[in-house]
Structure 1
Amino acid sequence: MAARFCGVLVLVAVFLSGLNASRPALNQELSNLFNELWRLDVNRMTPGTDYTISVQGRASFVSQGSHVVQDHATLPLFSNVNENKLKTTTTTSRFMKLLDNYERSTGMTEQVTTEEQTEINLFLDAVLQTEVMKRAHRYLVSKGQSSANLRLFKSQLKLIWFNLYRRQRNTGLDSCGFEHVFVGETRSGTEIIGFHNWIQFYLQEKNSYLDYKGYKARESDLPDQDDHVLNLQFSWHNLVKPVGSAFIGTSPEFEMALFTIVFLINTDRSTTVLVNIDQCQMELVVIRHGRSLGTAYPKLLSSNSRHVRQHAR
């Protein structure tokens, strides 16, 4: 079956209750751009070849903050991942070195060592060399949102993704966009926040820190092994994420490029754009924390080109 850019792990309960609420109009310009980035993403993993997932059962409703959850997936989500490709692809290998640099709990001040700063710089250098981020950079320059100077663009990415700030009041600098979106955090010892990356999901699952509980989807949008986005439920360090969202198989540079563009095209605290990418229609949500990223996630609206078929009726 042809690989589909579908299935998304969507992070907020609003996904379930607000699907019929008013939505922004389709952003065709960004849809065209993001499909171009999708085609340029040569570091994307191929389902059935580089990894295999087992979506298993539909997860049941769990309220935020609850520690009680029924398991509808007896097996891990990832039954196989080509770790050699992860380790030999420059962006993903450097990305994985960043995942253990953060305190999991908000309220705990982050301490960034010289070695960790070097890891951040090496990761950004690798990302900037990809065709995905080069194309994103050209687009942002054309819109007057970024400097054509590569050094200044790197500094802009660093400010957006790695600048530390206070997520919790009356604490030290305890969070950043990269940690929240790609690594995941816990809050007040009761809930999981952020955590939207499939590589982190796989590694945490492999090390038995994470337990996949089942997928979340509407009746007409059942996921399968080829989906490149999933909505799912999981527990992590004994806390439960009722509904999560993440791309599956995509490269770090692809996700970073998408969310950076959405972040920079609007100065509102919260930005939502409706886009069609491959066979999926989704909202990309970005929330600011000053000049840095607070959170970013996809909200899947339809997969398997169902939105195309409905429009054709």
Structure 2
Amino acid sequence: MAGFGIKNKGDRGFSADRGLSKIYTELWELDENRLKPGTHYCINLQGGRYKTYQCRDQAKDPLFSWVKEEVLRWPTYRTFIKLLDNYETETGVAEVVTPEEEQENWAFLNSCMETKVMKKAHQYLVSKGEVPSSEQSFKLKLYELWFKLYRRTGDTKECDSSGFEHVFVGETRGEKEVIGFHNWIQFYLQEKAGHVDYQGYILGTKPEEGAESHLLTIKFKWKEQVKPIGSSFIGTSPEFELALYTILYFCSADRHTDVTIAGQDVVLACFKMGRHGLGTCHPKLPKD
């Protein structure tokens, strides 16, 4: 079983949730569409920084040296990518969902529900009494959780955000700040298009030499606005992340949950937006 390739640091304050660790490791093992470093993609970490406020760019080259682009035509990847241009990135600007975009949302969910990962996630959530056993009813729950629009900023009456936009696409706030943006596929495509400037990883989070890294904490600029510290999985499939975060939303009462996935300690953050919205979800490594 391939792991994350990052050495556990033995954080004395870390206490893994056994139930979530078990189901997440099962999802990891079921993720047939997870990419393999060196086979499907290659990253170039370059330099790192101890402090997020350090301004010097520690990486002159892109993070992704290459990605085998045939993988982006796999069903869940292809339907996921179609959603990435459906949003206004600036908070406070109203989102408008066209009938075509709604169809694209459903196509993505339908594609994910064909995978072993999402079927297992559904089964688990039913066993916990969190969602209906009907697949169609579950998909309605997923749609509401991830695609229902809400107001992220308090100074506007417009519905300007959604869970999917924040987590997977990314948003900007004001003239200098990037918020959300926790997906590697979006990062790769935006970097390829010249919109992302990778500026280095955060020291203490570098994978072991020659290891298969599937979790990174980095600094980058997106459309000239800064994300001083951002963590995301690398090479995981869209369905794995959708399943993991959906379970987290329904089954974790805490904002930060410690889990162990395939032998790697990970802290998962989940912040809810009101009664029915998902504000953000993302992974990060435990503190030293």
Question: Partners of 1:247 and 1:52 in 2: how far apart?
Answer: 14
Indicate yes or no: 2:283 matched with 1:283: no
Task: Note the C-alpha offset of 1:49.
Answer: 0.3
Distance in 1 (CA, whole Å) between partners of 2:32 and 2:206 is 30
Q: Judge conservation of contact 1:59–1:232 (CA < 8 Å) in 2.
A: no
The alpha carbon displacement at 1:59 in A equals: 2.8
1:10 maps to: none
Aligned residue number for residue 218 of structure 1: 204
Q: Structure 1: which 5+ residue stretches go unaligned? A: 8-18, 308-313
- Alignment partner, residue 96 of structure 2: 111
1:237 to 219, 223, 243: 223
Unaligned runs of 5+ in 2: none
Q: Which amino acid in structure 1 is aligned with residue 75 of structure 2?
A: T
Superposed, 1:70-85 pairs within 5 Å as 70-85=56-71
Deviations 1:251-292 (A, max 9, x none): 0110111111010014x5x53221111242011111101212
Q: Secondary structure at the match of 1:296?
A: strand
The one-letter code sitting in structure 2 at the alignment partner of 1:83 is: E
Distance 1:62 1:26, change over 3 A: closer
Find out whether 1:42 has 2:32 as its counterpart: yes
**Pairwise mapping of residues 172-251 of structure 1 onto structure 2 (< 5 A)?**
172-218=158-204, 226-251=212-237
> Within 5 A, what are the aligned runs for 1:1-313?
3-6=2-5, 22-23=13-14, 25-59=15-49, 61-63=51-53, 69-87=55-73, 89-171=74-156, 172-218=158-204, 226-266=212-252, 268=253, 270-290=254-274, 291-301=276-286
1:61 Cα deviation from its structure 2 partner: 2.7
- For the 8 Å contact 1:53–1:77, the answer to whether it is kept is yes
SS in 1 for 2:271: strand
Call closer, same or farther: CA 1:41–1:74 in 2, change over 3 Å: same
RMSD: 2.1
Runs of 4+ with >4 A deviation: 19-23, 219-225
Q: Distance in 2 between matches of 1:104 and 1:44?
A: 27
Contact 2:256/2:267 (8 A) holds in 1: yes
Q: How many residues align?
A: 283
Q: Taking structure 1 as reference, are residues 83 and 32 closer, same or farther at Cα in structure 2, changes over 3 Å only?
A: same
Change (3 A) 1:220 1:161: closer
Does structure 2 conserve the Cα–Cα contact (< 8 Å) formed by 1:262 and 1:271?
A: no
Q: Secondary structure at the match of 1:4?
A: coil
Structure 1: distance between partners of 2:34 and 2:163: 22
| Aligned counterparts of 2:43 and 2:183: Cα–Cα separation in 1 | 15
Partners in 1 of 2:269 and 2:210 — Cα distance? 24
